[in-house]
């Protein structure tokens, strides 16, 4: 288990950004998974900034999003597609063939999830997966109680997120919202993982993730079993650890 603790927010964001850039430089044809959220946004923007100042090749790299909101337009500002395009993909000039996303709207999500998994596998599998950590231990939309052996699927989102999305998109209660996501089995098949977590609000769940039992109640706890997972934390998120 590798734990890296950053001493400042800038160091945290730079370290995370260089994990992605380093993978691209070492293997330009890498398949790299990205996550959206408050923790990863600065990392994405910093990668774009570094690329603008010191251009490096990106044309062979495949990027994909770990998860996606379902039941909304993919151009909704809170859709993972739009967030990743805005924060990183467009700035790097990545073409559509090298940017894979689960759909926001679909007649057959089971088939779409299976196709998504198969396309990632066709490109060689996941070389690097950057993960954020939910306050309840979720990874992507794999909420507490999700099967540890689960594959890509559409599941529920937490209540607070669903309420916010409904407000922002004027989605009525009878229109279902959810989250399409790679499953925990898919996540564990990534050759290398970097989980990023920062802030006082992550202190307790980081402790449970790293020093509690491996349990579906804390989906991120399964990462204890991954052979090459780095946990990148700031001082506040790591404050509860007792190593």
| CATH code for position 156 | 3.40.50.1360
Tokens describing residue 26: 């070492």
Which domain covers residue 218, as residue numbers?
Answer: 12-191+200-234
Q: How confident is the model at residue 166 (pLDDT cuts 50, 70, 90)?
A: very high
Does 217 fall in a domain?
yes
DSSP string across 130-152: EEE--TTS-BTTB-TT--TT--S
Q: How confident is the model at residue 179 (pLDDT cuts 50, 70, 90)?
A: very high
Please write the tens of the pLDDT for every residue from 182-228: 999 999 999 999 999 999 999 999 999 999 999 999 999 999 999 99
Which residues are 131's β-sheet partners? 195
CA distance 92 to 116: 22
Tokens describing residue 40: 């990863």
pLDDT score of 158: 83
Does 3 fall in a domain?
no
Does 239 fall in a domain?
no
Query: Residues in the chain, how many?
Result: 243
pTM: predicted TM-score of the whole model, two decimal places: 0.96
CA distance 194 to 179: 22
Continuous H helices in 100-198: 109-122, 159-169, 184-188
Give the count of domains, the chain. Answer: 1
Q: What percent of the chain has pLDDT over 70?
A: 100
Please write the tens of the pLDDT for every residue from 105-134: 999 999 999 999 999 999 999 999 999 999
CA distance 74 to 48: 22
Q: Which of 43, 31, 33, 24 is nearest to 232 (CA)?
A: 43
Q: How confident is the model at residue 174 (pLDDT cuts 50, 70, 90)?
A: confident
Please, what sign has the CA dihedral across residues 134, 139, 143, 147? negative
């Amino acid at each position: 288990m590798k734990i890296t603790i950053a001493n400042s927010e800038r160091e945290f964001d730079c370290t995370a950004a260089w994990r992605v850039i380093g993978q691209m430089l070492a293997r330009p044809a890498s398949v790299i998974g990205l996550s959206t959220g408050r923790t990863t946004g600065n990392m994405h923007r910093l990668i774009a900034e570094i690329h603008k100042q010191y251009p490096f090749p990106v044309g062979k790299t495949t990027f994909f999003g770990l998860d996606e909101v379902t039941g909304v337009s993919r151009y909704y500002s809170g859709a993972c597609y739009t967030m990743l395009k805005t924060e990183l993909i467009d700035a790097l000039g990545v073409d559509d063939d090298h940017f894979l996303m689960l759909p926001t709207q679909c007649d057959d999500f089971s088939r779409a999830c299976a196709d998504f998994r198969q396309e990632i596998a066709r490109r060689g599998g996941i070389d690097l997966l950057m993960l954020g950590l939910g306050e309840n231990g979720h990874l992507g939309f794999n909420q507490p109680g999700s099967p540890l052996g689960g594959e890509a699927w559409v599941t529920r989102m937490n209540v607070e997120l669903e309420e916010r999305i409904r407000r922002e998109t004027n989605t009525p209660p009878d229109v279902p919202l959810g989250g399409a996501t790679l499953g925990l089995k898919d996540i564990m098949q990534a050759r290398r993982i970097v989980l990023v977590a920062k802030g006082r609000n992550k202190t307790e769940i980081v402790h449970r993730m790293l020093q509690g039992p491996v349990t579906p109640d804390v989906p991120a706890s399964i990462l204890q079993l991954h052979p090459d997972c780095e946990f990148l934390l700031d001082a506040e998120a790591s404050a509860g650890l007792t190593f």
